[in-house]
Structure 1
Amino acid sequence: MRLALGIRYNGQAYDGWQSQPSGRTVQDKLQAALSQFADQPISTLCAGRTDAGVHALMQVVHFDTTAVRAPVSWVRGTNSFLPDDIAVQWAQPVPDQFHCRASALTRRYVYVLSQSPVRPSLEAGRVGWSMRVLDGDAMRAAAAMLLGRHDFSSFRASACQALSPVKEMRRIAISRHGDTERCRWHVEFEADAFLHHMIRNIMGCLVRIGQGREQPEWMREVLEARSRLAAAPTFSPNGLYFLGPLYAAAWGLPPEATIEGGGAAYDGPP
């Protein structure tokens, strides 16, 4: 039987998603918990790998097993073996043809940025930070230049394993929450797929533009350069959240994971 799970986690304590010899990754913790609950080795695949310090509101994984349990039991039983900062949200049997990565129609992230004269304290590790006031209109003008299908090599990490740097950016929405110099910015991204560090590298450029250190037109120059050397330094992982992939409703997943259902919404740091 093939099962899909929706997972939420705070990535502060982990070396990213993908399993590593240290064992300090989200995948390592999830597979250990699943294996204990199922009483057999469980190996998972995920919809989108996240870096160290990056969070997820709706990571989707799938795995094959001969263990027979009710969906609610997979949720509660697995959670009983997981650390407090990782939790299964739902479990759903799926056809053998379902693949959490290949079946995804789109993927979404949000970057949460605190604009404040002083660094975050209570939200440390869960939001990015700009000490300077940001110009939202300038950032939106720059972001518009990234929409559509482009070669995103300028925003690609050297360790990226993607076969092609060409991706389709479908949406970037920038919103400000609060009217004083102390406020929060949400930058939402949607694309068919993302390159390694792509969003953090774009954020580095957007913040530089928002702070007035570059003009919005600079973003087009960076994009067309197709060189990582042209872009700003990689921005902090702290405020990055994987909102999750979206699938066709025909797979029978919960509404928060489907195109028709609108997907999981971001409602503030967990």
Structure 2
Amino acid sequence: MPRYALKIEYHGAPFAGWQRQREQPSVQGAIESALARLEPREHTIAAAGRTDAGVHATGQVAHCDMTRDWGAYRLSEALNYHLKPAPVAIVACAEVGEDFHARFSAEERQYHFRLLMRRAPATHAKGLVWQIKHALDVDAMREAAGRLLGKHDFTTFRSTICQAQSPVKTLDRLDVRQVETAQGPEIHFDVRARSFLHNQVRSFVGTLERVGSGAMTPDDVEAALAARDRAACGPVCPPHGLYLAHVTYPQDPFAP
């Protein structure tokens, strides 16, 4: 039974999230339905991360087991045909060993967040960025982000419905930079860790926006982290600026 790794891109707006849900559209459900068109049976795929409703992906990774030897190119083409018109695409496919697991083999997950700063309503970027109508202090946000790096108890930045066994995680990177785009100035957040708590990235960004607006200071963020209290967190930002951008494995399954 050959196993295939799938690199997946999707627009999260129409979906209730990655995970299959009864009577609600999901990315997992869309791909499993496409697989059932190729091999009529029940399919269950595993993914590197379970993104929430409205969250996008440019580098989600999942794996599937097939009964036939499809070949990577043929499988990806067939899946893309049957995924239409859903905003989901298989951008790479590779046959992998039976010991490869999209979730458990992953060494690091990278999320990207886009925040647009302009007063005029977003048009081309609508639904793809979180829009703030005023300028933010990027230097202060960058300083505050540095206070969150390393191994900590991230209870403050953890959803109350998070099912992780422990709130202790190691944050490898939280880069904050301003980028000039055709739509206007954006702040991009590059967040990397082996794994994340539920709503952790969106809690980071919402809190850092408060720092950029002057409502909080970097010291406040450090104190909030130490408090281990969800009430100390800033607001959780909307999902539509967040992207699962990349998943790192000991050996890149999609390498040429």
Give TM-score scaled by structure 1 length.
0.90
Deviation string 1:126-185 (CA, Å, 9 cap, x unpaired) is: 001111210111000000011101111111111111111111100111111129x94111
Q: Which residue of 1 aligns with 2:33?
A: 32
Q: Which residue of 1 aligns with 2:65?
A: 64
Contact kept? 1:109, 1:242, Cα under 8 Å: yes
| Residue 21 (structure 2) pairs with residue 20 (structure 1) | yes
Distance 1:119 1:153 in 2: 35
Q: Which residue of 2 aligns with 1:195?
A: 197
Distance 1:96 1:31 in 2: 19
**Partner amino acid, structure 1, of 2:59:** M
Q: Which residue of 2 aligns with 1:267?
A: none
Contact kept? 2:15, 2:24, Cα under 8 Å: no
Q: Which ranges of structure 2 fall in alignment gaps of 5 or more residues? A: none
Deviation string 1:53-94 (CA, Å, 9 cap, x unpaired) is: 100001100122212201101100011110341001111111
Distance 1:2 1:71 in 2: 10
Contact kept? 1:117, 1:182, Cα under 8 Å: no
Distance 1:255 1:227 in 2: 42
RMSD: 1.7
SS at match of 2:218: coil
**Partner amino acid, structure 1, of 2:42:** P
| Residue 137 (structure 2) pairs with residue 135 (structure 1) | yes
Tell me the percent identity.
36
SS at match of 2:41: coil
**Matches of residues 177-192 of structure 1 in structure 2 within 5 Å?**
177-178=179-180, 182-192=184-194
Distance 2:92 2:203 in 1: 32
Q: Which residue of 2 aligns with 1:79?
A: 80
Distance 2:121 2:130 in 1: 9
SS at match of 2:239: coil
**Partner amino acid, structure 2, of 1:94:** V
Q: Which residue of 1 aligns with 2:99?
A: 97
**Partner amino acid, structure 2, of 1:223:** L
Q: CA deviation at 1:4?
A: 1.0
Distance 2:58 2:180 in 1: 23
Runs of 4+ in 1 over 2 A off after TM superposition: 38-41
Distance 2:42 2:225 in 1: 44
Change (3 A) 1:108 1:178: same
Distance 1:21 1:237 in 2: 21
